[in-house]
Structures are given as structure tokens and as C-alpha cells.
Amino acid sequence: MKFKNTLGVVIGSLLATSAFSALAQGQGAVEVEGFAKKEIFDSARDFKNNGNLFGGSVGYYLTDDVELRLGYDEVHNARGEDGRNIKGANTALDALYHFNNAGDALRPYVSAGFSDQSIGQSGRSGRNGSTFANVGGGAKYYITENLYARAGVEAQYNIDQGDTEWAPSIGIGMNFGGGSKPVAQVAEAAPEPMPEPMPVEEPAQVVRVELDVKFDFDKARVKEESYGDIKNLADFMKQYPQTTTTVAGHTDSVGTDAYNQNLSEKRASAVREVLVNQYGVEGERVSAAGYGESQPVADNATESGRAINRRVEAEVETQVK
């Protein structure tokens, strides 16, 4: 579980992937930091006092929030029970997950990873080597878009000896490239054109003209008083040349069925002739039909009812927008 054999490969990979992009503090960014730690050693190693660690790190943002960080520091001011200085170094590889958004001034984080430590007393050949599993947390405050200060603490579990050490730390770093879009660029971007509104099609309206021409008893002659109504129907059909109509003749119940059928057909033909010959509606647009006494609309037992049933009806309708 030693890192020395892979240290060169990791450093090379970070440098190879640290090409700067146009924007700051997010995916593709590189952070370089100098830091100081206070190592609170575990009791098993019998050190007389805790050590000061000074070092640096380089990190690469895999996403806007996830950073892979490689760090190196050296141990100072630690002493053994015999008073001799303790010297050594730590190499660590950690992953950091940042909260808030890339570009925010304050970005808390949590971290996890592994480190390798090699320390020993000055003047002695033997050295103590340990591998640690690290977890920690802290926050970065971006003084400018590229300059930040950091404070945090790590718990380091000594996998080889089974003890835990603590290391609070502070650091100053620089951020280069990568990340979220600056607000100014978003504000200056040209707005997308609004789609053209779809035309609202007004619903069609039905327009209609109805004709009801009354006849004297046993007559098929169109009375003068009905010509105005027939002209209104003709004008409507001229205004809407796609329309057609059927004029329907009817009688009262006086007389035989055959006689009344023939009389109703004559009445329908008389109205059609006025429409076509007098008011100029095309003949193919007007047809005539007789229904005899079969479709009364009033009571044939009374004179007034029979007068209503002696009629010719027509209806023309169309849809307009």
C-alpha cells in the first residue's frame, strides 16, 4: 500500500490533463496550494510532542464539484522520547467533494483518500513507515476568482498500527481555468428569438336563410307578396355561390293523395322558376320536390291549419369565418 511507485505516474497524469479552459473554478480547473498542518500523533509512537508539517498540493477538477488532489509535506519539530528530532515526509492522494456552486465565494468540502508516511529519528537508520486512510472536511474561501484561502481538518487512520491521528490545516492556493460560466457572459448572450405566435383560427359560423311561401287553396301561383322573400333567398345564394337548395312543395289534406302530390310538385316548380328565371340563380343549383299532404305542420281539421300547410319551403346554409 505504498505510494512511491505510483507517485510519478499520478503527477504526470495530473499535469497532462490540466489544460486550462476559458472559465474558472469548475470542471477542468487546476488548483495549486501551499499549506501548513499540525500533526497530532497517536500515542503508540511515543513522540514527545506533535509535529508541524509544511507542504504543497496540486488538484484537478474532474467535475465542477469533484477534485482529485495530490499532496506532499515534510515533518518538522517532532521529537522522540529521547529528545531526538523526528524527520520525515507524507505523500497523500485525496478526492474532495465541494458544496455550493463553482464560482461561489465559499465552497465547503469533504475529503477522503490515502497517504504514505515515512519518518525516523535524526542520526538513526531505521524509519517508521505507515499507510493512512484519510477522511476530512473544511472550506475554501475565494478571495478573488483565482486566489483562495482554505481551512480544514483530517482524521488519519493508521492502517499498519491501528491508531488514529488528527491534522488540522490551513492553506493558500491559486485556481487556474475550467468551470462555470461567468455571469457577465450569460448576461451578454443574445436572447433567443421568440417563436412566431401561431395564428388563431376563428371558428366557422353557420349562416342560414329559410323560405316559406304560402299558397291559396288549390292554387300553384306564387303570390306577389312572396316575391320579396324569394329574392332574399336568391341574393343569399348569389353571395355564396357554392350553395345549393331544394324547394319543397306541400298541400293540405283536401283532395286525393295523387292530386295533392301533383299540386305540391307544381307549387315547388313555380317557386324554382322565380328563383332561376326572375332572380338569376343557376338552374343546376336549385331542385324542386313535392311531398303532397304527407308532411303537415299544422292541424288539417281547421281552416287556419290547412292554410299553413299549403306552402313551399326552402333552406340554404353555409359556413363562414
- Tally Cβ neighbours within 10 Å of residue 241: 11
CATH number assigned to the domain covering 205-320:
3.30.1330.60
Coil/strand/helix, residue 307: helix
pLDDT in tens, 21-72: 334 578 888 999 999 988 887 655 666 667 788 999 999 999 989 999 999 9
Q: Tell me how far the alpha carbon of residue 7 is from its chain's centroid.
A: 45
pLDDT of residue 10: 44
Give bridge partners of residue 313 from the DSSP assignment.
212, 248
Residue 20 has pLDDT above 50, yes or no: no
For domain 4-181, which CATH number applies: 3.20.20.70, 2.40.160.20, 2.60.120.10, 3.40.30.10? 2.40.160.20
Annotated domain spans of the chain: 4-181, 205-320
Residues 6 or more apart from 253 whose CB is under 8 A from it? 260, 293, 296, 300, 306, 309
How far, in Å, CA of 114 to CA of 236, rounded? 94
How far, in Å, CA of 98 to CA of 295, rounded? 89
Q: What is the pTM of this model?
A: 0.49
Residue 205 has pLDDT above 50, yes or no: yes
Which residue has cell 292530386? 259
Coil/strand/helix, residue 3: coil
